[in-house]
Amino acid sequence: MVKREGWAAMMTVAVLGCSTAASSTGTDDSLSIGSTTTEASPKDTIGATAETLGPTTGLSEPAPTGEVTTGEASTGVGPSACGGDIAPGPTIVHTSGGAIEGEQLADVVAFRGVRYAEPPVGDLRFRPPQPRMCVPELAPALELGPRCPQVEKNAQGQVATMLGDEDCLTLNVWTPATGDAGRPVLVFIHGGGNATGGSDDALYDGAALAAAQDVVVVTLNYRLGALGFLTHDSLAAESPEQVSGNYGILDQVLALQWVQDNIAGFGGDPQRVLLFGESAGAVNTCSLVGSPRAAGLFQRAIVQSGSCSERALAKYEADIAAPWVAASGCADAACLRALSVSEILTLQPDGYPDVAALGQGWGPHVDGAVIPKPALMAMSEGTHNAMPLVIGANAEETAKAVPPLTVPQYEALVQVTFGPQAAMVLAQYPAADYGDDGQAAYVALTSDLKFICGARRAARAADAGQEAPVFRYHFAYDGYETAPNTTAAAFHGLELVYIFAGWGAVLPDPLEYEPNADDLAISQRLQSAWARFAATGDPAGADLTWPAYVGADDNGALLDEPPDLFNGVRTQQCDFWDMLLP
């Protein structure tokens, strides 16, 4: 391997599953500001395993309407039908879908590409997921499953590649050893604006975390974009509750149910399950905290750089679903299910993610059933799934997503974005406070508005609505080695490198990043805190002081090297946004 000084190529994975590009539609982790720097997704440099398909035929097409693809699933019942005659072993575990065989690695056993649902194709497209049927034969679980259908775009915002497969509902498990051991379980939901990303991303390999902390790590795929979140009257008419959309959230619910049903066989404790997500994965985590469908499926949650407020159905449809359906030319469910996957991916608005964008695209929305009310409201009222919670954001979330801006460009952008409120915004974020650097001013503005102040709002709501403890953090570490003329920043998703100890995912082969002493120290500190929280509901330990949150104090842990405590982060700015956007 060739060693390379610094993280020059870190920019290519800066959003860690949330690629940025100029887009007419923002996303749950995004703000369309016209011409933005485009950051390639981890696929571009890490070599993830999702299949890259041709530009014309696209991805796997759905089966004809009414035909359900079920692979080799059997409808038989009883131990024999479900593989009960297959002897368990160190790499063989019986699950509700049959026996599966993983791979013994140096320190853990890995089970990759485990199906937790029937393929959501044909008549199962745009429907809630169906549990995986029993398979009598021993099924290999040796390769990561394909990510769900999505596109990658070039610097001009044009579709460069279509990735994935509609048959994508798989998960992965890393465990120090199978069998009844009762280890804490950490379930991760990836980001990507609910339009991109997948559990095949090399950064999300759970082996290092599982081995270092003696925990079980689970990652999963869920449906994205229109396939995961489309609403339409004809789809709602098929539902007993008369709702549609939120299919990607229901995928996550089913995956969590699979964990409850099966994780004991992988050495995990189903009563000590931590759900943590980053970016759009954090948005979804918060939605699950607020959803009655997820009650009892996990016992702690960490919301990393994501909002806790879903749109009302009418606004969601006006923003994205109705324009998309109009572009499709479809008037009913049959037509929607007959569309090719490539057509679905390229219809506008496509909701492609941009970390700095203020608008929202595909994602969870209030439907009255899966999500009865916005999670922020549910938490403040105490009608959510109360549990120990950790909520936080990074110091310079949008640092890799905002292009260079002169002061006049910055001020013009604020004027266009905020209209009659622009003068107040500029008074709160004068370029002079940021060295007359328009880019720095806009990074501060968007990081506060989208992430830092949202974390305070969610922490306060949860603290008001539950007895279980809430913990807030502010991740400010920027001690990694940089390339010449590159400024380090605690940007969106950076903390994931340290939680997963994903050094091999930082630079493209054959380059290799060698972590420095501070990198290793904060990685150990974060891994230990996340594992302790999964085990006990308290992230504090001998290596990290972290008191429970008190809304009036706005206190928490400053995650840096060395760590510290805070009472208030960007308080004046967050007070401003609470006043301007109540």
Q: Which of 361, 372, 131, 359 is nearest to 256 (CA)?
A: 131
Place 50 in a pLDDT band, splitting at 50, 70 and 90: very low
d(CA 153, CA 301) in angstroms, rounded, equals 32
Q: What is the pLDDT of residue 467?
A: 98
Percent of the chain's residues with pLDDT above 90: 80
Residue labelled with tokens 């596109």: 151
CB atoms within 10 A of CB 510: 9
d(CA 297, CA 288) in angstroms, rounded, equals 10
**8-12, 34-38, 172-176: which range is least confident on average?**
34-38
Q: What is the pLDDT of residue 508?
A: 84
**21-30, 170-179, 209-218, 262-271: which range is least confident on average?**
21-30
Residues 285-312 have a mean pLDDT of 97
Q: Are 174 and 210 in contact (CB under 8 A)?
A: yes
Give pLDDT tens digits for 417-443.
999 999 999 999 999 999 999 999 999
Place 130 in a pLDDT band, splitting at 50, 70 and 90: very high
Q: Are 27 and 358 in contact (CB under 8 A)?
A: no
What does the block give as tokens for 65? 């309407």
CB atoms within 10 A of CB 190: 29
Residue 2 clears pLDDT 90, i.e. is over it: no
Place 28 in a pLDDT band, splitting at 50, 70 and 90: very low
Residue labelled with tokens 């609505």: 465
Q: Is the peptide bond before 562 cis (omega within 30 degrees of 0)?
A: yes
Burial of 200 (0-12, 13-18, 19+ CB in 10 A): buried
Residue 178: inside a domain, yes or no? yes
Q: pTM for the full model?
A: 0.89
What does the block give as tokens for 369? 């059933």
DSSP code for 282: H
Burial of 113 (0-12, 13-18, 19+ CB in 10 A): buried
Q: What is the pLDDT of residue 81?
A: 59
Show the 3-state SS of 453-470: HHHHHHHHHHHHHCCCCE
Residue 158: inside a domain, yes or no? yes
Q: Across the chain, how many H-helices and E-strands are there? A: 19, 21
Residue 74 clears pLDDT 70, i.e. is over it: no
CB atoms within 10 A of CB 334: 12
Residues belonging to the active site? 279, 397, 492
Q: Which of 279, 320, 467, 474 is nearest to 390 (CA)?
A: 474
CATH number, position 569 = 3.40.50.1820
What does the block give as tokens for 217? 């790590």
Residue 103: inside a domain, yes or no? no
Give pLDDT tens digits for 342-372.
999 999 999 999 999 888 899 999 999 999 9
Ramachandran class of 435: left when φ > 0, alpha when ψ lies in -120 to 50, beta otherwise: left
What does the block give as tokens for 562? 């060395």
- Give me the number of domains the chain comprises: 1
The three-point CA angle 155-219-255 to 5° equals 115
Domain that holds residue 560: 2-32+40-97+110-580
Question: Which residues 6+ apart lie within 8 Å of 546 measured at CB?
Answer: 471, 473, 529, 538, 539, 540, 556, 557
**Crossing angle between the packed helical segments 438-447 and 407-418, to the nearest 10 degrees:** 30
Q: Which of 285, 300, 273, 46 is nearest to 173 (CA)?
A: 273
Tell me the DSSP string of 6-61: S-GGGGGGTTSS--B---SS--TT----SS---B--HHHHH---SPEE-TTT-SPP
Residue 117, φ and ψ in degrees, nearest 5: -145, 160
Burial of 55 (0-12, 13-18, 19+ CB in 10 A): exposed
Give pLDDT tens digits for 155-202.
888 888 999 999 999 999 999 999 999 999 999 999 999 999 999 999
Burial pattern 286-317, b for ≥16 Cβ within 10 A else e, equals bbbbbbebbeebbbbbbbbbbbbbbbebeebb
Average pLDDT, the chain: 88
Residue labelled with tokens 């002493």: 517
Show the 3-state SS of 334-345: HHHHHCCHHHHH
Residue 140, φ and ψ in degrees, nearest 5: -70, 140
Question: Which residues 6+ apart lie within 8 Å of 165 measured at CB?
Answer: 50, 51, 59, 60, 146, 147, 148, 149
Q: Are 126 and 230 in contact (CB under 8 A)?
A: yes
d(CA 142, CA 380) in angstroms, rounded, equals 43
Can you list the positions of beta strands (E) in 60-136? 92-95, 98-101, 103-104, 109-115
Residue 105: inside a domain, yes or no? no
